[in-house]
């Protein structure tokens, strides 16, 4: 596709989404590297990490980057060293883009901790565009029976929620608290419920609380309200550090709080006796491995996990980010390519 151009959204100057830091630009269609696929974007989920990249909460890694890392698309070109894929194949492009494969972390199966890891929509241009690229080894084959829009949020929101759930070490039949109930949490809740957990949701907004109850949560209340019973595990999805002590105090003895976000506001001082004693644990979550992605997609297919989605044309990507920040929708937003 040498010489062809495409439209893409670029973060020209990170700042509040209300000030329109995204600009629509025309760029050459990217040429895939030797080990990469060129992917024509069909749908791209809108993740809170895209908001952090756009607003500058995360440091700039690539000036003028195109956000987006929940991409469903079709193979439009192959690098000369790629095998096993063909034009027209449907693939997913997720957050984790590349690792070195040789460091001690990669060697022990913890590629999410690789110091040389690179990320779609942060280190390299992502899916808020007509085309993107992905190393073939990090492209995900997608089931044919689920449509593009339903699949897109699974590729980050679903995967990271799944890893966060596993990081809680929730016992079978345990009591799980979810703080925040957006794209990731509402997928995580479905997995936890299918595996026999009792789920309590603490979140702002009547629509999110209603969705939680509709999906089978035992209770839904305000973000700072106590759950109706002690929790064996909890996950903090909201990027609000002041919820950390709130969630820790809601844990039963031996409970684990897992923090799912890539960005968190400052955590206030913790009191050892009330917040951490009785062997409570606070754990972070850093990205995911490809194994996480494969395991989650299999679990999602087995249990019929489905995203509640709200679609926006790709041409209205800034509006989707503003609505995400303001909490104007439940579930997840997905951009559908209306450029090509």
Domains assigned to the chain: 5-155+308-336 (3.90.180.10), 159-284 (3.40.50.720)
User: Is the pLDDT score of 277 beyond 80?
Assistant: yes
Residue 276, phi then psi, degrees to nearest 5: -125, -15
Q: What is the pLDDT of residues 152-180, one digit of tens each?
A: 999 999 999 999 999 999 999 999 999 99
137-140 contacts, C-beta under 8 A, 24 or more apart: 137/35, 138/93, 138/94, 138/96, 138/97, 138/98, 138/290, 139/37, 139/39, 139/85, 139/91, 139/92, 139/93, 140/91, 140/92, 140/93, 140/94, 140/290, 140/293, 140/294, 140/297
Query: How confident is the model at residue 50, as a pLDDT?
Result: 97
**Average pLDDT taken over every residue of the chain:** 96
Q: What is the pLDDT of residues 289-326, one digit of tens each?
A: 999 999 999 999 999 999 999 999 999 999 999 999 99
H helix runs in 26-80, sequence order:
48-55
Query: How confident is the model at residue 3, as a pLDDT?
Result: 76
- Sheet holding 198-202: strands in order across? 219-221, 198-202, 175-179, 231-236, 251-259, 281-284
Query: How confident is the model at residue 56, as a pLDDT?
Result: 96
Could you give the CA distance from residue 336 to residue 328 in angstroms, rounded to a whole number? 19
Q: What is the pLDDT of residues 60-74, one digit of tens each?
A: 999 999 999 999 999
* β-bridge pairing 219-221 and 251-259: unpaired
Q: What is the pLDDT of residues 225-260, one digit of tens each?
A: 999 999 999 999 999 999 999 999 999 999 999 999
**Is the CB of residue 330 less than 8 Å from the CB of residue 210?**
yes
Query: How confident is the model at residue 2, as a pLDDT?
Result: 62
* β-bridge pairing 96-98 and 118-119: antiparallel
Q: What is the pLDDT of residues 53-63, one digit of tens each?
A: 999 999 999 99
Q: What is the pLDDT of residues 183-241, one digit of tens each?
A: 999 999 999 999 999 999 999 999 999 999 999 999 999 999 999 999 999 999 999 99
Query: How confident is the model at residue 144, as a pLDDT?
Result: 78
Instruction: Kindly report whether the global pTM for this prediction surpasses the value 0.85.
Output: yes
User: Is the pLDDT score of 147 beyond 90?
Assistant: yes
């Amino acid at each position: 596709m040498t010489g062809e151009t495409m439209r893409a959204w670029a973060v020209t100057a990170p700042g509040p989404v209300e000030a329109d830091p995204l600009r629509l630009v025309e760029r050459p269609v990217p040429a895939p590297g030797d080990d990469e696929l060129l992917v024509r974007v069909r749908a791209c989920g809108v993740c809170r990490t895209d908001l952090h990249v756009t607003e500058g909460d995360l440091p700039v890694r690539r000036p003028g980057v195109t956000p987006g890392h929940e991409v469903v698309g079709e193979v439009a070109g192959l690098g000369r060293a790629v095998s096993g894929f063909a034009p027209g194949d449907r693939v997913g492009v997720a957050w984790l883009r590349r690792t070195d494969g040789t460091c001690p972390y990669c060697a022990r199966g913890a590629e999410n901790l690789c110091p040389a890891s690179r990320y779609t929509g942060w280190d390299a241009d992502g899916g808020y565009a007509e085309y993107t690229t992905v190393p073939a080894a990090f492209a995900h084959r997608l089931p044919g029976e689920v449509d593009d829009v339903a699949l897109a949020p699974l590729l980050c929101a679903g995967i990271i929620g799944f890893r966060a759930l596993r990081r809680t070490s929730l016992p079978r039949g345990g009591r799980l608290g979810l703080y925040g109930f957006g794209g990731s949490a509402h997928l995580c809740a479905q997995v936890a419920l299918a595996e026999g957990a009792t789920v309590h949701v603490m979140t702002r907004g009547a629509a999110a609380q209603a969705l939680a109850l509709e999906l089978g949560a035992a209770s839904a209340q305000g973000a700072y309200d106590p759950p109706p019973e002690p929790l064996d595990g909890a996950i903090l999805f909201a990027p609000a550090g002041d919820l950390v002590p709130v969630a820790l105090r809601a844990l039963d003895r031996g409970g684990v709080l897992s923090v799912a976000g890539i960005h968190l506001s400052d955590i206030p001082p913790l009191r050892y006796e009330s917040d951490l004693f009785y062997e409570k644990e606070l754990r972070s979550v850093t990205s995911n491995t490809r194994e996480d992605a494969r395991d989650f997609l299999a679990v999602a297919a087995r249990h019929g996990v489905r995203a509640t989605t709200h679609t926006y044309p790709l041409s209205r990507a800034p509006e989707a980010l503003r609505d995400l920040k303001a909490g104007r929708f439940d579930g997840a937003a997905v951009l559908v390519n209306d450029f090509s």
